[in-house]
Structures are given as C-alpha cells and as structure tokens.
C-alpha cells in the first residue's frame, strides 16, 4: 500500500520516519558521523594511534580507523551498513576520507555518502619517550666466528637491524637505541627484551647456530623488584 511523504507529498511504498528516500537524505543523516577527527601522531616514529594501538601511518591504518567510526555510529543507530567504501585524499597535513555505504532502514535501502577530515594531533608515544632516552631492556651480541674486517661485518649488522624493523609493527620497542662496535662484532642495545629474544632466535635459525642467553643484575626498581639486563649472543 502506497503512502505519502510528509515533506514533499510524494506517493511511495518506502518511507523512513514518514519521509521518502530523497527527503530523508536531504534533511537527515543516516549515521551521526563526525565532520573531522584528531588522530594522535608521533613525529619521531611517524606512527599514529588507532583504537588505542600505535601503528605505522598508512592508508590501511586510516581506512581501518574510518571503518571503526562508521561501525560504532551504525551500532548506535541500529543500522547495518553494506558495501562500505572509504577513499582517502591527502591534503597537506590532513587527510580527507570520503565514505559511502548502503543502509537498510526498515524496508528501505538508502545510499549514503559522508566526508571526514583526519587531522594530526602531534604527541609522542610512551615507547618513543623511552627510546629517545636510550631505554633498553636487552643487548644482542652479534659476533662473527671468523676474524673478518669491520666492513665485511656490515651485512650481518644490517640483517639484525632489518629483523628489528620488521618486528616494530607489533612491538614499538623493537629498535636498537645504540650500536657499539665490539671485538669480533657489535652490541645492539634493544628497547624490548621480547623483541631482542625473537630477533636473536630468528638470526640463529637463519645461520643454523644457537643463541647464548645470559643476564646481569642491574639494580632494584621502586617496588623492590630485582632488575636484570638480558644478553642474547649469536655467533655467525
């Protein structure tokens, strides 16, 4: 049975809150989406905070952020969006996200579009503050079995640095705050013990050798807990 739109008088079988689709999209928003959002941005590491986690700044990170905002707004409205599409347009320091989706309101399908401006809010993550102050939980001791020139040791050093960089997406402290030349190799001071252990194990597996683990007492923290520095030695 056809009914009439209370705004334009159009006769239709599909009404949403007494309005036809055209009037509804002109007068109301399908979802209550913000016009702009501020995103924490760490200039030191070029990482952004998305859903409470620091991740590398990328299109994927921003798309996930916008999708999360749409999902929350849809849940509050009791709407299930279909065919959600997010397109990003960088403009200087800001990024404009154009969003489109289909929404089911009662028996009516409505195509909706919106625009959200993503603005950086400059700050520094806890991990960046630690790394900037040379914080480190472990030391990877890279050693070479053969007595080779320092220049010939560089590929091995770069291999460790690449492994640390690979792990940084999941662990912000997977970084060497210092690299010191030592006899027959290098000492890499790593922010995270967990990252150092993982990288040392990967390096040992690649070169078919093993990791020699040791620890050194470095003091007691404010709670009275004994603190140790961990060493992971890999000879290649």
User: Would you list the DSSP string of 57-111?
Assistant: -SHHHHHHHHHHHHHHHHHHHT--EEEEEEEEEEETTEEEEEEEEEEEETTEEEE
Contact 13, 1 (CB under 8 A): yes
Cβ neighbours of 123 (radius 10 Å): 12
According to the model, what pLDDT value does residue 135 have? 92
Question: Across residues 178-200, what is the average pLDDT?
Answer: 95
According to the model, what pLDDT value does residue 103 have? 76
Over 80: is that where the pLDDT of 125 sits? yes
Question: Across residues 224-233, what is the average pLDDT?
Answer: 87
Q: Which residue has the higher pLDDT, 18 or 199?
A: 199
Closest CA to 144 of 233, 53, 24: 233
- The top-scoring range by mean pLDDT among 52-61, 68-77, 105-114, 115-124 is 115-124
Over 70: is that where the pLDDT of 151 sits? yes
* Strands ordered across the beta sheet of 211-220: 176-182, 185-190, 138-143, 226-235, 211-220
Over 60: is that where the pLDDT of 9 sits? no
- Give the C-alpha distances (Å, rounded to integers) separating 52 from 16, 86, 139, 218, 232: 36, 21, 29, 32, 31
According to the model, what pLDDT value does residue 2 have? 65
Question: Across residues 99-111, what is the average pLDDT?
Answer: 76
Over 50: is that where the pLDDT of 7 sits? no
Q: 75 Cβ partners below 8 Å, 6+ apart?
A: none
């Amino acid at each position: 049975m056809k009914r009439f739109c209370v705004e334009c008088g159009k006769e239709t079988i599909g009404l949403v809150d007494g309005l036809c689709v055209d009037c509804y999209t002109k007068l109301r928003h399908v979802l209550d989406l913000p016009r702009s959002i501020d995103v924490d941005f760490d200039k030191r590491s070029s990482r952004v905070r998305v859903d409470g986690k620091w991740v590398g700044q990328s299109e994927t990170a921003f798309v996930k952020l916008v999708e999360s905002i749409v999902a929350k707004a849809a849940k509050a409205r009791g709407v299930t969006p279909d065919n959600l599409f997010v397109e990003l347009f960088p403009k200087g320091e800001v990024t404009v996200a154009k969003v489109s989706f289909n929404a089911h309101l009662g028996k009516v399908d409505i195509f909706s579009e919106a625009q959200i401006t993503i603005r950086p809010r400059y700050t520094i993550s806890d991990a960046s503050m630690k790394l900037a102050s040379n914080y480190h939980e472990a030391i990877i001791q890279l050693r070479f079995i053969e007595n080779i020139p320092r220049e010939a040791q560089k590929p091995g050093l770069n291999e460790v640095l690449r492994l640390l960089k690979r792990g940084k997406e999941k662990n912000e402290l997977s970084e060497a705050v210092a690299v010191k030349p030592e006899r027959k190799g290098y000492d890499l001071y790593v922010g995270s013990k967990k990252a150092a252990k993982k990288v040392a194990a990967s390096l040992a597996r690649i070169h078919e050798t093993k990791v020699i683990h040791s620890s050194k007492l470095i003091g007691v923290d404010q709670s009275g807990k004994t603190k140790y520095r961990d060493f992971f030695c890999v000879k290649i």
